Structure formats: C-alpha cells, structure tokens
Structure 1
Amino acid sequence: MPLQAPYGTWPSPIDAALAAAHDGRPEFLGAVGDELWWTEPRPQEGGRRALMRLTGESRGPAVSVLPAPWNVRNRVIEYGGLPWAGVPRAEGGPLVVFTHFADQRLYALEPDAPDESGPRPLTPLSPATEGGLRWCDPIVVPEHGEVWCVLEEFTGDGPTQLRRVLAAVPLDGSAATDRARVRELTADEDRFVTGPRLSPDGRRATWLAWDHPAMPWDGTRVKVAEIAEDGTLSSTRVVAGGPEESVAQAEFAHDGSLLIASDVSGWWNLQRVQVTATETAGTRRPVPVPLCPREEEFAGAIWKIGQRWFAPLPGGLIAALHGRGAQRLGVLDPQTGELVDTAGPWTEWAPALAVTDTRVTGIAASPRTSYEIVELDTRTGHTVVLAAQHEDHIDPAYYPEPQIRTFTAHDGRDIHAHIYPPHHPDRSAPADELPPYVVWVHGGPTSRASLVLDLEIGYFTSRGIGVAEVNYGGSTGYGREYRNRLRGQWGVVDVEDCAAVARTLADEGTADPARLAIRGGSAGGWTSAASLTSPATKGLYACGTVTYPILDLEGWATGETHDFESQYLESLVGPLAECPGRYRERSPLHRADRVAAPFLLLQGLDDVICPPVQCERFLEEVKGTGVPHAYIAFEGEGHGFRMAETIVRALQAELSLYDQTFGLSRQDVPSLELGS
C-alpha cells in the first residue's frame, strides 16, 4: 500500500541530472544511399550536436562520425537549419558535407577515406557580423561538383543587415580561401529562402520564399526554376502560395510533378502541382490538385529550415505525417486518397523523414518512450526501432501519465491541453489535500507542446507537483483559424487561455487554487511574465519561472532581436507605428510594479534572440518592490539551454522556488536564494 505524504514532498529517482542527460532529441534524419544519418544531442559534451551514421549493411549500431568538439549545427535564421547532406559514391564510401557551429563553415567529410584526414573546409572563415557567412539546408550536386544551399550573409553590424540567396559551393575546396568562388544561384530579392530541391531528372529546382513582415506560417511562395547545363537557374516563377497561404514544404515526386503542403484550405494538406518548362513568370499558375483533403495538419510551422513532413516513395506513394494536435506517420496513395497509418506505439513523429527504396524512416516517440529512429517497411507494414532506442533508466512506474483535455475559454473558445497529474507508484497524498500545479507554456508562440515522454515533466510529477501543458490559441496542430487567434492578441489570448486552464483545474478540485504556478521559455517566458503582471490574472499564480523571455515589446521590435523574428510582432501585436501604446501596455517591463508573486528568471548570456538586456531592465524595475525573486544567468548558453550542468541548475532552482512558495520543506534540492 502506498505511503502517505503531502504533495510535492515525494522522493523520486528522476533527478535533475537524469532529466538533463535526456534533454533534446535526434534531428535532421536523412538517407545517403541505403545509409541513415542524423544529428543527436550531447548535453554532457557542452551541448554539441553529434553527427550519427547507421550503415545499410548491418543497420546498427549507429556511430558518431566526428569526435568532440565538432558540433554539427548552424545559425541560419538563428534557429538553424538542416546542417548536413550526403551522396553515395561507387567507390570510397559516401561524401558528406556539414556545417560546424563554432565557425559556421561548411565542411566536406569522407568517413571511409583511408588517410583519416578528417573534415576539410569548403567555405571561408568569416566574422560574426559584417561579412559573416552562414550556410544551411544543403544538397550535394555531383554533376556540377557543388553543394547547393542557403547562404546567409551579413552586410553590416546590425542583426537585420543581411541577405539570403541560394548559392553553389565548389566541392573542390577552392572557396575555402576565396569567397568569389561561391556561385550565387539567385538574386537577393527574397528576404528568406529554403534550400533547393531538384527534380529527378535534374532539370528543375524548387524552393520556398517569403518576406517581412510575414512569418512562414503566414504566407510563403513556391518558386520553380529551370536548371541549365552550366548549373545556372532561369525562368524562375511562382507556382503556388501567397500572402495568406502558407506552404511549408515543396518537393518533386519521382514522376517529376511537384508536391506541396499548403494551408489554402485552412489546414496544411498535400497537393500536386504540374509544372512545365514552357511556363514563364507571366503565365497563369498551374492549379494544384488536393491529394487527401482533411481537416488535419500534414505539415507545421517552419522554425528550422529543412524540416520534412512528407517524402515521396519511388513507386508513387507518399509517406506523410498528419493529425490534429499530434502527428503520426501514414502512407498515402495519391491516386485514391487512401491513407494508411503506421502500426506501433508512437504517437508523435518529428518532421524528419528519410526514404530508402520502399522503407521510410522517421523519428518517433510516445508518452512512454523517448524519440527513437523508427523504420517502416511499406511493403509489409512492419516497423522496427533502428537506433536511439528508448531505455528505461528508471522504473516506468514513475513516468508522467498524461490526460488529453479540451477546456473552454470565457468566450466559448476551445483550449487544448495535456494534463499530467502528480504520479508516484509508492506515494499518495492525504485525502483532503489538493496538489500544486504548474502551467507550462510552450515557446514560439506559433508552436505546440507534444505529447511525448519528457523527464523534465516527470521530475515534477513524480515529486507530487502536477503539470498542465497548454496549447493556447495560436498554437499549431489545430488549423489556421486556431493559429490565427493570436493575431494582434499576443499577451491577451495566450494569457487568458493559460489562466482558464488553471482556474478550471482549481474550480473542479483537481488543483490547489492557492498553489498554482506558471513557467515557460522564450515566447512561453513572455506569457509567463505577462501572466504575473496582468490585471486579468491578479492573484491567480503563487509564483512563476520565466526563462529567456521577451519582456519589452518595443525594444524587441526596434533592434533587440534577430532578423527572422524582427517583424513578428507586426502580426502578433500590431504595427508599432499604428499602436505604440499597445506595445507599452502589454509589456511586463512596464507593468513590473504589478508583480506580486515570487519569480525565478533564467537567462543565457549568449542569447541573441531574447537578449539579457531585457532581463536586466526588468530587474531594475522590480528592484525595491519587495517581491522575492532570483536571477540566474548562464555563460555560454544561448536561446534554449543545451549544457547538462545548466539544465540541472535550472531544474533544481525551479523546484526550490516551488518548495519555498508552496511550503513543501524538501531537503534534497539546493536552496534558491530569493532576494527582493
């Protein structure tokens, strides 16, 4: 029979070190011939991303092909993009190119070369600002002896003084010391571009483009161009997309037709577009043909360039992620519209699909398993875990047990959420006690919380603290109308939706109304800080944890962030020139005198997306209010903590905040000093 102990005081084998060790997931999976390659997090190695290889012959075990400190990652649009590409060769093994985070250069690697010479640079060293070069979303084009990719080039010292084009980098290394050897494939008429994808015959290229103030989930354009024998692009035209149509992915099928994921229907659905060489920029666009019209999402928000939600198979079928609020893997017959889902326990698939003949490989997880490399044989329907296999490092009885719920806002809107009650196999609370709950706010804000095993959630639930993950209005996964709820309403709808979930949990007797907290990072940090300073939520939260947040809208809109999101507030809040008062009224910086609850502020000192200066200004405004708070700044961390020691300290500090605020009297966590 379980021992009885107050909520929040339970012992747990899920310590901060265990949670930190399993932070992050495999990413950017792709095929090189019959091999599989991807990147994998290494929190214990300074947060670097390792490049993994799984050969086709043995299908295991996977090996890291580059030792530390190689870090396969880039900073294009600051969130990064696909950092590697490869091609098989008849002799000598595969040729792989990748970007290294430390210098942002593009390198070539021949992992089977007998001389073990290591990576060789393909692009020149460059400064971080004016003249700085970054590369992402590459493809290797052997017939031209080049790597085609996105080039992001800084033209001045400011974060928005830059240009982006498609570029061709010689594989012979001649551009490593000569920028002039880089061949630009497009002019810089588009602010943002994704990398090119080539038709099977190599005669056409397609890519996505968009411009400020639109974000890629607002409106993108699909471009197609002809490829000449000398590798130049011509007859470039827009074949799909527009200001209010977001196309998240474009790729050629094996028959040469173009496949796109467009939300013109209100949902990201798959369409086929027939393009011909006779089209010119002035001709009428081809009419897309829906392949499987459903009120489901077959794609998502482009936060990283090179994400892949669908992948054509050689026989004409299409592997596609789809769903509402979560995405599962299905195989679509575009001729009939029939979509057959993959069997297995996985409830969430990441946007990274690789095809090798009739096999589709993806990155999948569930509430009981972490992200794994999973292969589907489309001929048999059989699935198998190939790599990154989940291991139970503790008894799974301690894992969080989620509930999928829909709440109702004050105006009748649906609010989607995942509720994780306190859970422990050997402890229960007194019958007359209600548990503390923490509302978790995801970032973006155009993103969503995935229903997968997260040991950070387990860190709290196994100790007797409930977690409510809220996919507030503005989140992806529920169609464009749900996503657009946040237009002009950031700091209102997100705050209201999180509060509605918290109040409902308290009103129905699920949560202790006196022990509610809120926490979030980035845009989630904004919502958390806005909730602690909003008159609409006065007295609701007993405390809050705010991580690498936006705190001053006007500062963020006038040069205190990176280029990608520099005009994001035009849609989230409204044009600054037209409604400057709204920027001031909603900013936690200008409502700091309303903070009444204790809070913890966590910040990376290398963050260029949400810079430390905003935290510093906010703390100056809070000074002297008497509100208990703590500020921890981490050297070497940017936007999103990656180092194990940082994650450990952040989790322990957060638990200590709850320990002190909720009166838990825990003895197993370092005490957080709260000043005022």
Structure 2
Amino acid sequence: MTVQAPYGTWPSPIDAGLVAAHDGRPEFLGAVGEELWWTEPRPHEGGRRALMRLPADGRQPAASVLPPPWNVRNRVIEYGGLPWAGAQRATGGPVVVFTHFGDQRLYAVEPDAPEGVRPRPLTPLSTVTGTGLRWCDPVVLPGRGEVWCVMEEFTGPGHTELRRLLAAVPLDGSAAEDRSRVRELTDDAHRFVTGPRLSPRGDRVAWLAWDHPAMPWDGTLALVADVTAQGTLARARAVAGGPQESVAQAEFAHDGALLIASDAGGWWNLHRLDPDAATPERPDRARRPLCPREEEFAGAGWKIGQRWFAPLPSGLVATLHGRGAQTLGVLDPESGELVDTAGPWTEWMPSLAVVDSRVAGIAASPRSAPEIVELDTRTGHTVVLASRHEDHVDPAYYPEPQIRTFTGPEGREVHAHLYPPHHPETAAPDGELPPYVVWVHGGPTSRSPLVLDLEIAYFTSRGIGVAEVNYGGSTGYGREYRNRLREQWGVVDVEDCAAVARTLAREGTADPARLAIRGGSAGGWTSAASLTSPAADEVYACGTISYPILDLSGWVDETHDFESQYLESLIGPLAECPGRYRERSPLNRAHRVRSPFLLLQGLDDVICPPVQCERFLEQIAGRQVPHAYLTFEGEGHGFRKAETIVRAVEAELSLYSQVFGLGRTDVPTLELHT
C-alpha cells in the first residue's frame, strides 16, 4: 500500500551510518604472480586504506594483509599515486612494497615469511614528517634488488619547493637510514613524472612527464630510455606528446612496442609506436592508431599510476573506452576490432590487472557498488572475485537514474545524470513538485560516474531529487568539451549548472522555490560561485559548500604544487588578468550571498586550506545570512572517517529541512547563525 507524504519528508532505511560505512571504493588493483592485490577503504578505522590480498587458488576470500594503523596511501602531488607493488620470488612467496600514510616511508613486507607480517622500512624517515620525502608508483625488481619509483623530495619549507624524479630504492633496507643509498635514475628536469614502465626484456623504460603551468590533461611527454647493464638509464628521449597533446598512459606491449593513450586527435585514443623511430615532431613516422573513435580510452591523471589499458601476453589489449561512462573492452590491435565485456556493469575504474589471459578490474553500476571483476578473454566469461556488492537495504530504495543532455547558453550541450525522488511505499500528493539538489563534481577536470551511491540514495529515498551535472570542462566527452572551461571557470560551470536547474523547474520536474546546490573542492568553488554570481541569481534557495576554493588570488600561494598554476588555464595568466581573479572569487562577491549555506572543512586540508573559509566568513559576518561552519580535526581534502561523514550528511539534510520547510526531526538540528 502506497502512503502519501510531502516530498522530503519520506522515511528511509538508508541512514547516514550506512552511507559512511560504504563510502569509498577499491582502488589500485594489481597482480602479483597469479594473485590480485588492491587497497580498500576503512571508514570505521579512521579512514585508513587497507591492503587486500586475494589468493590465486580461489578457495580463500580476500583478506587484509596489514592490521591498523597501517594505512596504504601516499601524498605524492597530494592526491597520491599507486601506493604498492609486488613481485613473486622463486622461494619464500611474494615481496610487496607499500607507502604508509602516517610517515610517507616506503616499506617492504613478505607476507608468507615464517616470522609473520613485519613491514620493514626501505626509505629514510623525513626530518619534517610528511613533507620531506614521498614515494609512489613503484615497480619491484627482485633481480636487481631494487624498487624503481617516483621520488618527491621537498627542498624547502614552501609548498612548491620540491623536485620529482625516478629513483631506485634498495630492497635490503640499506637506504632506511642512509639517503645516499637511493639511486637517482633521472634528473629533475621535469616538474612532474609518473613511475617507470619496463619493457618485457627489461632493456627499456617508459614514463610520462609534464611541467608547469600544464596539467596532465593539457600536455604531457612520453619518454623512453635504455636500461644499461649497470641499471642506469641512457638516451632518454621524448617519443610522443607536447604542449597540446596529453598522453595519459604509456605501456610496453609484449612484443616490445610502446602503446600510448593520446588525445592528439581530440579524444584519448590508443596508439602503437616504435620507440626507435618516434619523435614528438614527427609522430606520423612511427605511430599507428589502433581503434580511432570519438570516445575516450583514458581520462584525467589526478592520481599517478592509474591504468586505463593493459596489454595481454596474447597481443590483445584490455582497454576502457566510452563517451561519459567507460566500459571494458578487449581490442585486437591488428584488426582494430573491439569487443565489450558482457555483464551488468556500466562503469569501470582506471585500475586494470592482467594474469595470463584474464583481466581483472573494478566495476560498478547504478544498482551495484564497485566490485572486483575478472574477465576471461578466451571465453568471454566474467565473474565477481571480491568486494561483491551486497544489498544492505532493500534495493527498491535505490534511485532510478536518467541520463540527460540539457541545453546551456549559446545552445551548448550539458551532460547530466538525473536521480528523481524514489520510494517503494511512499508518494507525494498530486500536484506537488519535489525539491532538487544540483551536485557539482570536483576537479573541475573530472566527471560524476553513473554508479550506485548511497549518499545520493540517502536523499532520493527521502523525497529529494539529485541532478549530477557534468558541466563544460568535464572529462569523458573529448578535448573540445574539456577546453570549454579554459579561462571560463566560474562562468561556464556556473551557467551549465544553473541551466540544468532552471530547465528542471521550467519543465515541471523540480520545485523552482526548492532548488539547492552542493559540491566539494572545485565543486565547492562552483557552489559558492553560484550563490554569488549574477548568472545564477535567484536559482538556489541554499547551498552546501565543502572544502572549497573561495579566494583565487590567495589560493595561488596557499595550495600545493600540483595545482599551484592550474588557474593559469582555468582563469587566465595572473600577471595579465589579476582583475579576473578578484572579480570571480566568491570572497569578493560575498555581499551577493542571500541564500543560507553550510560550509564543511577538514582542518588538515593542504589543497584547499581552512583559511579560505575563514576569510569568506569574515566577509559574511553581520550580513544576516543564515549559515553554519563545521570543521573536522584529522580530515584533509575529502572526508574519510565514518564519524565525519555521518555528521556532514546529517547536517546537509538538516539544512534542506529548514530551508525547504520539511520539518524533519530524525537528524540533529543544524544551528544556523547570522
């Protein structure tokens, strides 16, 4: 029997504790021999990342290798990178190296050793904890007795006083007390580098590099060097890439050819090239596109070590591809034939592992959370190996999303996912329109995936709709769509989100008086900019702003190195257009804020530091705008602890309850100040 109740007041079994318990997803999947390893979130263990191991025999479930407080993450470029790698040995089982978030050191562990799991440090303890030395994207080379990886070394107290290069760390632990035992494989000529990828014979190595002010989706170089008998690198040279070409990934095929994902044609497509003949100036001499399509076969490199494609020993290539969402396919590089994986999964993460003819990945759908899935390329069969999705509530409460394309200013397309209010037993009275919240993803060069998200279900099952907007600048739709945001941040993103909100109101999908906007990081910027921009006047009744950028001029000097010159492309060269930085900053338009808002901030955030919020609140003081500011000890950029997530989700619902007149009493009342 269906019960009638106003939108936003519906009861729901999806509480904030359930949202927190299932926040995050598996990441950095890889193979060690025939075993699969990956990292997994633990919100109820202080937000640490556990290192998981799945035995090859299939008779034992995946298990965490390291007990708390071991936290397998790193802070290279602050967003981190591949934090572990392993290799099988002739005897004694595998050796695995990993980075521990607490001290940023590189450790080795031999999980099958008789004395048990006892990690031992491989790198020195930094004199300034967490800022001196950092490591990521490792490759274990037992034959050489080394780990080759990215080294990030701070040379001074400032956020941008550092160098990055490829380094070799001894596996015997001799560098744990002696920095001089770390061999530098390259110089620091490039500001940013990814980890090394060795050829099958071990005689060559490839990596990516780029320099300020470019971001990795703007322009990168694919570099190749010869590996000498002494383990040094020789004849390093660029073979692809440039200022207007983003190479997102480079891997050697099993025949020694180099495979790259390049957007030289406007879309990240796969290419095969001969490293001996290739140069960035004459790519046509040695480069062959493998499957030219107006689809993305890669994505934005926010974390070092992501893997969108993986060569198989047979010569086939497992690859993600698509417009918007990416699915897993198997490509025959000779014929160009691409066969997609069967199954219910609609979104695959950039984390592929190969074991002989089998490919493992992390996949999800609107009805399932991310799972570890294996594809047998010989039979085409797929099976869930680990992290199997479980319905912790009746799936009838899950939202039923719609893929929409809206029309923005000047007729431009705006991609979005619509999640209408949905409840199996409750409906709103006839004629009532629901409240909607526009969700803005971070980045801004990123994308909202179309997958089951219990935080979205938390709201939709209560009668509040959600619209995820992949505004101009988002990935998944080609370089031209990404470039819409160049020098237009705070304009195009604000306009596109407002266009979606206005259309929902105009077509009778949403209540025009009960629209909100929310986002974190760059999404927090767009949310705050929307509450202060004439382009979104009178659209939103309130907003939730998490760990945002609010003062562009200040942020340039306050943020970390990776994004310290990001605004050169998003806003424009600071030296040439300083007024644009002032005019677009929500800080300098705080007088335009009329709508109530909630501000959420981690106190350990070095990407968008708390001072951004503090300055904004100084400008708001005395303006009689209802607002709340919640801060969280021990949280950085993005929330990982269960208790933080619960508080943030419930506070957001309380904001909407008060502003939309929902009268909910099942969450703590958020105290709004003026």
Do both share a fold (TM > 0.5)?
A: yes
Counterparts in 2 of 1:82-97, with a 5 A limit? 82-97=82-97
Give the corresponding residue for 1:607: 605
Counterparts in 2 of 1:68-217, with a 5 A limit? 68-116=68-116, 118-128=118-128, 132-217=132-217
* Deviation of 1:129 (Å): 7.2
Counterparts in 2 of 1:266-281, with a 5 A limit? 266-276=266-276
* Deviation of 1:608 (Å): 0.1
* Deviation of 1:143 (Å): 2.2
Counterparts in 2 of 1:432-581, with a 5 A limit? 432-557=431-556, 559-581=557-579
Encode CA deviations 1:197-224: one digit per residue, 9 max, x unaligned.
0000000000000000000000000000
Encode CA deviations 1:258-291: one digit per residue, 9 max, x unaligned.
0000000000000001123x88999988531000
Secondary structure in 2 matching 1:174: coil
Structure 2 counterpart of 1:38, one-letter code? W
**Which of 649, 659, 666 is the matching residue for 2:657?**
659
* Deviation of 1:404 (Å): 0.2
Conserved in 1, the CA contact under 8 Å of 2:84 and 2:96?
yes
Encode CA deviations 1:631-656: one digit per residue, 9 max, x unaligned.
00000000000000000000000000
| 2:611 matches 1:622 | no
Task: Please give the alpha-carbon distance, in whole angstroms, between the structure 2 residues aligned to 1:619 and 1:329.
Answer: 46
CA RMSD of aligned residues (A): 1.3
* Deviation of 1:173 (Å): 0.3
Task: Please give the alpha-carbon distance, in whole angstroms, between the structure 2 residues aligned to 1:130 and 1:303.
Answer: 20
Task: Please give the alpha-carbon distance, in whole angstroms, between the structure 1 residues aligned to 2:623 and 2:151.
Answer: 48
Task: Please give the alpha-carbon distance, in whole angstroms, between the structure 2 residues aligned to 1:100 and 1:211.
Answer: 27
Task: Please give the alpha-carbon distance, in whole angstroms, between the structure 2 residues aligned to 1:511 and 1:296.
Answer: 32
**Which of 588, 593, 618 is the matching residue for 1:590?**
588
* Deviation of 1:116 (Å): 1.6
Secondary structure in 2 matching 1:144: coil
Secondary structure in 1 matching 2:301: coil
Secondary structure in 2 matching 1:549: coil
* Deviation of 1:410 (Å): 2.0
Aligned pair in 2 of structure 1 residues 118, 58: CA closer, same or farther (>3 Å)? same
Structure 1 unaligned segments of length 5 or more: list them: none
| 2:15 matches 1:51 | no
Task: Please give the alpha-carbon distance, in whole angstroms, between the structure 1 residues aligned to 2:199 and 2:370.
Answer: 31
| 2:287 matches 1:288 | yes
Task: Please give the alpha-carbon distance, in whole angstroms, between the structure 1 residues aligned to 2:252 and 2:141.
Answer: 16
Encode CA deviations 1:383-426: one digit per residue, 9 max, x unaligned.
00000000000000000110000000120100000000000000
Structure 1 counterpart of 2:447, one-letter code? R
| 2:297 matches 1:298 | yes
Give the corresponding residue for 2:361: 362
Task: Please give the alpha-carbon distance, in whole angstroms, between the structure 2 residues aligned to 1:593 and 1:602.
Answer: 20
Secondary structure in 1 matching 2:495: helix
* Deviation of 1:127 (Å): 3.2
Give the corresponding residue for 2:312: 313
Secondary structure in 1 matching 2:243: coil
Conserved in 1, the CA contact under 8 Å of 2:330 and 2:339?
yes
Paired-residue identity, %: 79
Give the corresponding residue for 1:3: 3
Conserved in 1, the CA contact under 8 Å of 2:239 and 2:278?
no
Secondary structure in 1 matching 2:523: helix
Secondary structure in 2 matching 1:143: coil
Conserved in 2, the CA contact under 8 Å of 1:165 and 1:193?
yes
TM-score with structure 1 length normalisation? 0.99
| 2:25 matches 1:25 | yes
Give the corresponding residue for 1:385: 384
Give the corresponding residue for 1:423: 422
Task: Please give the alpha-carbon distance, in whole angstroms, between the structure 1 residues aligned to 2:281 and 2:471.
Answer: 42
Secondary structure in 2 matching 1:116: coil
Encode CA deviations 1:107-127: one digit per residue, 9 max, x unaligned.
000000001250000001003
Secondary structure in 2 matching 1:555: helix
Structure 2 unaligned segments of length 5 or more: list them: none
Secondary structure in 2 matching 1:28: strand
Counterparts in 2 of 1:203-242, with a 5 A limit? 203-242=203-242
Conserved in 2, the CA contact under 8 Å of 1:130 and 1:157?
no
